[in-house]
Homo-oligomer: A and B are copies of this chain.
Amino acid sequence: MIEKFTNDKVSEILKSAGLRLTDARVGVLSVLAESEGALSQEQIAEKLADIAPNKTTIYRVLESLVRKGIVHKAFTRERSVYFELGDNCSEKQCHPHFTCTSCDRTVCLTDVEVPLAGIGEKGFEIHHQKVEIQGLCPGCSVEG
């Protein structure tokens, strides 16, 4: 598996954000860094079986990472929040997420750009635009 971040890199990110280096924090951030897509608390816990932090701890770690902008809440599904690194987002927009209604998988469209809504002249100030798409993924949309 290709590590997106080394352990040192994770430590550096946390330190320069003014966050303490704890096993739980390093673990959660590493798991998110190595993940293809967004993960729920439960999925993160599964991948941290060695450290086995309490679920409260995971939620509090995630909260701290979100507050620093290191991690984003990507989307909510089945009443669970899914978290991912904030590094694949532009200033005002996160990459879109596509969920296939057939195979029920969610894909990060990291290279897709959707223009910001044109609501500036109406006085709205956009800080963050999120796009969620439902439909059929290439695998499920069999044609021919």
Contact = CB atoms under 8 A, between A and B. Distances in A.
Interface in A114-142: 114-115, 117-119, 122-138, 141
A27 interface: no
A17 interface: no
A5 interface: no
A129 B112 CA distance: 13
A114 B112 contact: no
Contacts of A131: 114, 117, 129-132
Interface size class of chain A, counting residues whose CB lies under 8 Å from the partner chain: 20 to 34
Given A109-B117, A112-B119, A115-B114, A135 B128 contact: yes
Given A133-B129, A134-B128, A141 B119 contact: no
A60 to B, nearest CB: 17
A135 B141 contact: no
Contacts of A130: 131-134
Interface string A14-37: 000000000000000000000000
A106 to B, nearest CB: 12
A82 interface: no
A76 B81 CA distance: 11
A67 interface: no
Contacts of A118: 112
